[in-house]
Amino acid sequence: MALDRKDIEALAAHLESAELEARDVTKITDDYPQMDWADAYDIQDEIRRRKEARGHKTVGLKAGLTSFAKMKQMGVDVPCFGFVSDYMARPDGGEIQTSELIHPKVEAEICIVTKAPLRGPGCHVGAVMAAIDFVLPAVEIIDSRYRDFKFDLKSVIADNTSASRFVIGGRSRRVEELDLRTLGVVLEKNGQIMAMAAGAAVLGHPAAAVAMMANHLGARGQEIPAGTFIMTGGVTEAIAVQAGDSVNVRFQDLGSVSMKFV
Ligand code: 0L1
Ligand code: MG
């Protein structure tokens, strides 16, 4: 750890205010170049603590930057992990207020809900598959608080991996009914296909992202509890959206998720 508790709390307040006020900021490593990985996740944990202290429930976990397309798009080579809160959820087919956001982008995510706890080290795809209760589709709306999405990975982790809004839709399926690697996804904006991919785009298998998350949390003395909703990461690159755009994502065997940006 390179930062003290006072810096961690100040940076969490700084980034969370930027989120809540839809105001962009410069990446925090500009002012704190000594910040290390533990500091970055500690800032994120402090943002989570602040939200929970105000009565917001943490309703899920997310893996980010898990697909080759996203890593290439953002110029990074390792995934990151964050959380989503109750107030970030929006209904399928509903509206997303762009005035509450800075520069939103959408990504299609294959999601799971666990029926057993997962704890690293040593968590692997097989353990994750045995712990999946059901699979469901979602669209994540990311909104980095960093100006022009210019950041490094530590700054992104501190900023709760750009978590902003999410929409769960379609239908849930038992994991035995699906092949998560070949599950196809087509992302449309205003009726035009913008991106398509299959589940294997996420680290070869979406369950690998969950195993990585369990191992990451295990190293921090935490686990993934039973009943956790997890977004495994965008299967395609993220697509920028603005007011007036409609987004529809078709997931093979899982139905569609849609929303309108107003
Ligand atoms: O969910 C994600 O993949 C977000 C990763 C954070 C970086 C970004 O804002 O694209
Ligand atoms: Mg995502």
Cα–Cα distance for residue pair 152/227, rounded to 1 Å: 32
- Ligand 1 pocket check for 64: Cβ under 6 Å: yes
Residue 173 forms part of a structural domain: yes
- The pLDDT tens digits for 223-239 are 999 999 999 999 989 99
Name the residue at shortest CA distance from atom 6 of ligand 1: 161
Say what the pLDDT of residue 90 is: 98
Cα(231) to centroid(ligand 2), Å: 7
Residue 69 forms part of a structural domain: yes
Residue 149 pLDDT > 90, yes or no? no
Write the DSSP assignment of 135-160 as a string of letters: EEEEEEEE--SBGGG---HHHHHHTG
> What's at 22, amino acid-wise?
A
- Ligand 1 pocket check for 161: Cβ under 6 Å: yes
Q: Can you give the pTM of this predicted structure?
A: 0.96
Strand extents, DSSP E, the chain: 58-64, 80-85, 89-90, 95-96, 105-114, 132-142, 163-168, 184-189, 192-198, 229-234, 239-240, 246-251, 255-261
Residue 122 pLDDT > 90, yes or no? yes
The pair of three-digit structure tokens given for residue 87, joined into one six-digit string: 């107030």
Total tally of structural domains belonging to the chain: 1
ipTM: 0.96
Cα(236) to centroid(ligand 2), Å: 10
pLDDT band at 77 (very low <50, low <70, confident <90, very high): confident
Residue 163 forms part of a structural domain: yes
> Mean of the per-residue pLDDT values for the chain?
96
Say what the pLDDT of residue 73 is: 81
- Ligand 1 pocket check for 233: Cβ under 6 Å: yes
- The pLDDT tens digits for 203-226 are 999 999 999 999 999 999 999 999
Residue 53 forms part of a structural domain: no
Measured CA to CA in angstroms, residue 101 lies from 41, 206, 238 at distances of 23, 28, 16
155 vs 78: which has the higher pLDDT? 155
Residue 33 forms part of a structural domain: no
Residue 48 forms part of a structural domain: no
Cα(209) to centroid(ligand 2), Å: 12
The pair of three-digit structure tokens given for residue 70, joined into one six-digit string: 């996203």
The pair of three-digit structure tokens given for residue 207, joined into one six-digit string: 């369950």
Say what the pLDDT of residue 70 is: 81
Cα(9) to centroid(ligand 2), Å: 25
Q: For the residues 175-192, what does the mean pLDDT come to?
A: 98
Say what the pLDDT of residue 41 is: 97
Cα(221) to centroid(ligand 1), Å: 24
Say what the pLDDT of residue 152 is: 92
User: What is the CATH classification number for the domain harbouring 66?
Assistant: 3.90.850.10
Give the structural domain span for 199: 58-261
CA dihedral sign of residues 10, 24, 216, 128: positive
Cα–Cα distance for residue pair 158/36, rounded to 1 Å: 10
Cα–Cα distance for residue pair 45/81, rounded to 1 Å: 11
Q: For the residues 4-21, what does the mean pLDDT come to?
A: 98
Cα–Cα distance for residue pair 200/126, rounded to 1 Å: 15
Say what the pLDDT of residue 135 is: 98
The pair of three-digit structure tokens given for residue 42, joined into one six-digit string: 């500690």
Say what the pLDDT of residue 1 is: 83
Say what the pLDDT of residue 109 is: 97
Residue 232 forms part of a structural domain: yes
Say what the pLDDT of residue 174 is: 98
Cα(158) to centroid(ligand 2), Å: 15
Residue 117 pLDDT > 90, yes or no? yes
Nearby residues for ligand 2 (ion, Cβ within 5 Å): 64, 107, 140, 234
- Ligand 1 pocket check for 11: Cβ under 6 Å: no
- Ligand 1 pocket check for 207: Cβ under 6 Å: no
Q: For the residues 197-208, what does the mean pLDDT come to?
A: 96
Residue 7 forms part of a structural domain: no
Percent of the chain with pLDDT over 70: 100
- The pLDDT tens digits for 24-74 are 999 999 999 999 999 999 999 999 999 999 999 999 999 999 988 888 888
Least confident among 12-26, 64-78, 130-144: 64-78
- Ligand 1 pocket check for 238: Cβ under 6 Å: yes
Residue 62 gets the label, from left (phi > 0), alpha (psi -120 to 50) or beta, of beta
